[in-house]
Structure 1
Amino acid sequence: MVANSTSYKQLKEDFVSNLSGGSVSEITYVVSVAPVAVLLWSVLQARQLFFRKNAATETSSPFALLVDFLLNVCAALLAITLWSSTPLLFSGLIIAPALFIYALPQRTTKKRVKLPPSSKANNANDRAGGPLGVLSLKPFLTQYRGSMMVLTCLAILAVDFRLFPRRFAKVETWGTSLMDLGVGSFVFSAGVVAARPVLKERAESRTTPLHQRLVYSMRHSLPLLVLGVIRLLSVKGLDYAEHVTEYGVHWNFFFTLGLLPPFVAVSQSILRVIPSYATLSLLLAVLYQVVLESTSLKSYILLAPRVDLISMNREGLCSFVGYLAIFLAGQDAGMYVLPRRINPNSTSTPGTQRNTLLLTIAVWSGIWWALYYFSTNPVRGAGLDVSRRLANLPYVLWIVAFNNAQILAFCLIDSLFFPSFYNAQDARTEKEAYEIATSRVLRGFNRNGLAVFLVANLLTGLVNMTVPTLDVGPVATMGILVGYAAVVSGFAVALDAWNISIKL
């Protein structure tokens, strides 16, 4: 058992403090290992039916599940640890077998992949092969959100070991890092799926009154706020090492997540005068940046003494504005990514609709990257520095630009290897095509993301309370991280296999 000495606690706090991060390009190379791994998974599935279900048991083989885990979890783990200095080489080593397998003769089967009984019983339309709805479960979104969740869960424990590069840990004030990207991506990803109820309302030509939206949003907020309180009490009660300048003395990420729904509910009323979520997001981020630059707010956040409840938690309270802007930008992406047809009034073919979607994502990705460039370039732009601690304008633009580009990468892979998904004529056929086109592991992480994240946090705390992480060598570190990854992945896959969705 690790001794709860003041010296060791201080050592751990120093280990994650005063860091300056790394370059945006390196972070992009490292995170790009995720879509590259999905590329290899897709080649194996599309060309060789490697992850197909057994006709008798209606489940994938244990070996196929192991390969799925190695590709979509362990590859990400290696990218942020042992191969962190050479991410492009690592990606190349993954692409090489993909090219070889793609060159092999394609394997075909006449057997139809069956749905699990739980899925068949889940929806009457599925059983009857009913009509397609307005929205659909897009394979590339599942892969994108699942990969993001995998990296997030891996990083929150890996950061406590010396094998995890310090440039990937959260920066103190100015700069970019892998974990800073993870925090913002978590919020953006939540915003993407939050567009679903809005799209359903529009499809049904109805409008929910503001007070009903607020009540509904509070139902989502309450569990998250409770989790925030539990985390606060456990951290203080166990004298757990904490980084105060991250969110403040009492604030934590669960409080930020918990406060988002009611503010988003109010923002829907603002959309009556503002044309889109993207415009509202950008307007909010720009106004916040103006306030930071033209008032004493920035110096207050960074330098003020912690004398009362507000000043003690000023980072969490003020950065919430930036996270709200990221969430709204995610919702804007969801408005064109989630619908079955990006142009519902068009009679174009599914292939044309898919190409239009790809072009739309590419254009928006280019717009957000251009805005990020002009906000940070000291010669041709504003010359602002990225700050996750402030969640300022450059940070918002970086997160939104990167996630749009990441969605585009997964969408390209999906369109290349599983175009038949977009040609489905009924709900049951589409569900079968969806399951064929998505990793079982990533599907589990995506389906119960917040519950899996909570379990990962609990396991992270358990490891830190029982293992002197700063004194562990590389071999033991990898053993612990792989074991941890296996437990978290097993939990995610088990929930999906048992058809359990935990809504928090």
Structure 2
Amino acid sequence: MDASYKARKEAFVSNLAGGSILEINAVTLVAPAAVLLWSVLQSRLSFFSPYTAAALVTDFLLNVLAILFATTVYSAAPWTLNALLVAPAVLLLLNSRPQRAQQKAKPPPKAAQSTKVKSEPDQSLPILPFLTTYRACMMIITCAAILAVDFRVFPRRFAKVENWGTSLMDLGVGSFVFSGGVVSARSLLKGRQNGGSKKPLGQRLVESTRHSVPLLVLGLIRLYSVKGLDYAEHVTEYGVHWNFFFTLGFLPPFVEIFDTCAALIPSYELLSLGVAALYQVVLESTDLKSYILVAPRGPDLLSKNREGVFSFVGYFAIFLAGRAVGIRIMPRGTSASTSPQQARRNVFATLGGQALLWTVIFLFNSTYAFGYGANIPVSRRLANMPYVVWVSAFNNAQLFLFCLLETVFFPAVHRTVGREGEAERVSFATSPTLRAFNKGGLAIFLVANLLTGAVNLSVPTLDVNTAQAMAILIGYAAVLTAVALGLDRAGIKLAL
């Protein structure tokens, strides 16, 4: 890469201050708005069953390109894009009736269902379409941003900030970790359901390390590629050698080591908040903050990679917050005294309550809050406490919205207890494209990073016009979607 162009590339993503949280919320609201329109089309018209070529194109336009457009050509008018998605959904709702097609999943008769709930409630972990949708939308917006950020069509206020502030991409990396924490609860819940004693720490470490190895290998590949190809890099993001793959890879085994604290503090929410608060105290009461932000880089590995090493503490707190939510929403929640409807209301209460709680903590943490707040600015580079609680509040709110859409438009998913017909009910309520992105997350993320590198090495992204940039980005999104659907059709699951 030409030295002067490399310098321009690095300057393009450096010293940025981010944007407002309100605008970030408006942009990310496009994903639930698109899912709303998809859900109306499916529940009222069975538009995506069967999955024809027209259905595939519509699915791609709604659940992939709408997110891409929100971060690029509609970045200055996200509310307009939201309105364009919501308006046809409202019109269709007003001029149609619910289809009976979604009942083709053949749920058991009410009497049998009631008997089953009262006598032998199924305690297996259900498939949650809203969780699939949430994780897939997070993956899509992440993959879109990692390439779009290199083009001028992607606003600089959406790119990662240098030290203090909030941005779409800063929220994205935290959401990636939170999402991993949510699904990590599945193995924990399965262990509890088996009723056996907890596995020894050594065995749990081996199992978690197996999951981490692919991510650590990807981290090494990215490190070698960046250094070997003289690729433009933003050193103050994670450090000289560290990258986000290393953060993701070290989280599972570290969680297993720390999991012994869960016996003393059974609430993962408190554990997450405790880690974040303790880390913030250390930042404020020692020289650690200035060391991370302004100290000269010494020859040792810690000094060269201090952002990645110390921000790991904040990401760990985010992972724990995600796990706390997963533990509460993944079980069926039914019992002899709890109906499926009551169980779903409990999920709503959990997600809504968590979103509200984290939001209140964020307000008191990062603003003056009527004179009682600490007014600590958000820093993704530090992954400080305001950053942790902001990410946690946002992701709980997103999960709440997706859960609400599923509950309203596909009630058969949660009202029927047991695994009989579950696959059909879930399939009807889940976008095939979103299911594929969730199922093949690891492979798709790898392909996205490879394509991002290939595009940057072959195209002067800073010098192309808007039309050329969008053509490249749409083609990139189409390739990722094709890879996702291809892996799904082949039955290959490589989830993150």
TM-score (norm 1): 0.92
Residue 128 of structure 2 is matched in structure 1 by 138
Give matches, 1:73-222, under 5 Å: 73-106=64-97, 108=99, 132=122, 134-206=124-196, 207-222=198-213
Task: Say whether 1:252 aligns with 2:243.
Answer: yes
Residue 271 of structure 2 is matched in structure 1 by 280
Counterpart CA distance in 1 for 2:450 and 2:209 is 25
Residue 119 of structure 1 is matched in structure 2 by none
Task: Say whether 1:237 aligns with 2:228.
Answer: yes
Counterpart CA distance in 2 for 1:110 and 1:274 is 46
Task: Say whether 1:27 aligns with 2:19.
Answer: no
Contact 2:69 2:75 in 1 (8 A): yes
Deviations 1:294-314 (CA, angstroms, capped at 9, x unpaired): 000000001111112110000
Task: Say whether 1:324 aligns with 2:316.
Answer: yes
Give matches, 1:327-338, under 5 Å: 327-338=319-330
Contact 1:185 1:399 in 2 (8 A): yes
Counterpart CA distance in 1 for 2:128 and 2:432 is 14
Residue 378 of structure 2 is matched in structure 1 by 386
Q: Does the C-alpha gap of structure 1 residues 110 and 102 become closer, same or farther in structure 2, counting only changes over 3 Å?
A: closer
Contact 1:49 1:107 in 2 (8 A): no
Counterpart CA distance in 2 for 1:9 and 1:47 is 52
Amino acid at match of 1:396: V
Give the match's secondary structure for 2:462. Answer: helix
Counterpart CA distance in 2 for 1:156 and 1:147 is 14
Deviations 1:186-209 (CA, angstroms, capped at 9, x unpaired): 000000000001101111122111
Task: Say whether 1:454 aligns with 2:446.
Answer: yes
Task: Say whether 1:406 aligns with 2:398.
Answer: yes
Residue 53 of structure 2 is matched in structure 1 by 62
Task: Say whether 1:263 aligns with 2:254.
Answer: yes
Contact 2:102 2:410 in 1 (8 A): no
Q: Does the C-alpha gap of structure 1 residues 145 and 272 become closer, same or farther in structure 2, counting only changes over 3 Å?
A: same
Residue 118 of structure 1 is matched in structure 2 by none
Give the match's secondary structure for 2:468. Answer: helix
Q: Does the C-alpha gap of structure 1 residues 441 and 349 become closer, same or farther in structure 2, counting only changes over 3 Å?
A: same
Contact 1:228 1:255 in 2 (8 A): yes
Residue 128 of structure 1 is matched in structure 2 by none
Task: Say whether 1:466 aligns with 2:447.
Answer: no
Unaligned runs of 5+ residues in structure 1 are 54-59, 116-130
Deviations 1:403-450 (CA, angstroms, capped at 9, x unpaired): 000000101111100011112344241111001001111111111212
Counterpart CA distance in 1 for 2:101 and 2:176 is 40
Counterpart CA distance in 2 for 1:192 and 1:469 is 35
Which is further off, 143-152 or 263-272? 263-272
Give matches, 1:303-452, under 5 Å: 303-307=294-298, 308-341=300-333, 344-345=334-335, 347-378=337-368, 379-452=371-444
Residue 467 of structure 2 is matched in structure 1 by 475
CA shift for structure 1 position 111 = 9.8
Task: Say whether 1:486 aligns with 2:483.
Answer: no
Counterpart CA distance in 2 for 1:61 and 1:21 is 41
Residue 122 of structure 1 is matched in structure 2 by none
Counterpart CA distance in 1 for 2:259 and 2:90 is 46
Contact 1:52 1:113 in 2 (8 A): no
Contact 2:215 2:248 in 1 (8 A): yes
Q: Does the C-alpha gap of structure 1 residues 112 and 275 become closer, same or farther in structure 2, counting only changes over 3 Å?
A: closer
Contact 2:276 2:388 in 1 (8 A): yes
Counterpart CA distance in 1 for 2:326 and 2:228 is 40
Counterpart CA distance in 2 for 1:34 and 1:498 is 27
Unaligned runs of 5+ residues in structure 2 are 107-120
Counterpart CA distance in 2 for 1:235 and 1:321 is 25
CA shift for structure 1 position 107 = 6.5
Deviations 1:193-231 (CA, angstroms, capped at 9, x unpaired): 000011011111221111111111111122211111111
Counterpart CA distance in 2 for 1:493 and 1:447 is 10
Q: Does the C-alpha gap of structure 1 residues 424 and 249 become closer, same or farther in structure 2, counting only changes over 3 Å?
A: same
Counterpart CA distance in 2 for 1:373 and 1:136 is 35
Counterpart CA distance in 2 for 1:250 and 1:26 is 33
Counterpart CA distance in 2 for 1:190 and 1:110 is 34
Contact 1:168 1:179 in 2 (8 A): yes
Counterpart CA distance in 1 for 2:406 and 2:212 is 33
TM-score (norm 2): 0.94
Counterpart CA distance in 2 for 1:202 and 1:470 is 52
Give identity over the alignment, percent. Answer: 56
Give the match's secondary structure for 1:476. Answer: helix
C-alpha RMSD over aligned residues: 1.7
Counterpart CA distance in 1 for 2:216 and 2:87 is 46
Q: Does the C-alpha gap of structure 1 residues 425 and 381 become closer, same or farther in structure 2, counting only changes over 3 Å?
A: closer
Contact 1:196 1:338 in 2 (8 A): yes
Amino acid at match of 1:413: L
Amino acid at match of 2:331: P
Residue 48 of structure 2 is matched in structure 1 by 51
CA shift for structure 1 position 241 = 0.3
Residue 110 of structure 2 is matched in structure 1 by none
Residue 126 of structure 1 is matched in structure 2 by none
